Amino acid sequence: MVVVQETVLLTNSIENFKWIQKNFKELEKGYEGKFIAVKNEEIIAFASTRDALNKELQKKKIDISEVFIDFIPRKGHIILF
């Protein structure tokens, strides 16, 4: 049962990841420099910091495992890891 749940969560995240990739240019316009939480190919929360995003999700009673969180970098910025 747990494995099925994990498989479904991974499948959902892959779909949300693809949605972000496909719509990245649009997302850059509205969410530049922001953390976004995506569920069912829809942004359900966003914030300037991860802490603020976590608080938003807590307010909405959404567990972190249910969403795909990503950071939209600022235009013209290159992130080195």
Q: Which residues bind another protein (CB under 8 A)?
A: 6-7, 9-14, 17, 21, 24-25, 28, 35, 49-51, 64-65, 68-71, 73, 78-81
CB of 60 to another protein, least distance (A): 16
* The amino acid at 63: D
Q: Identify the three-state secondary structure at position 44.
A: strand
Here the tokens at position 27 are 């997302």
Write the single-letter amino acid at 48. Answer: S
In the block, tokens 């892959």 appear at 14
Minimum CB separation of residue 28 from another protein in Å reads 6
Q: How far is the CB of 74 from another protein (least distance, A)?
A: 11
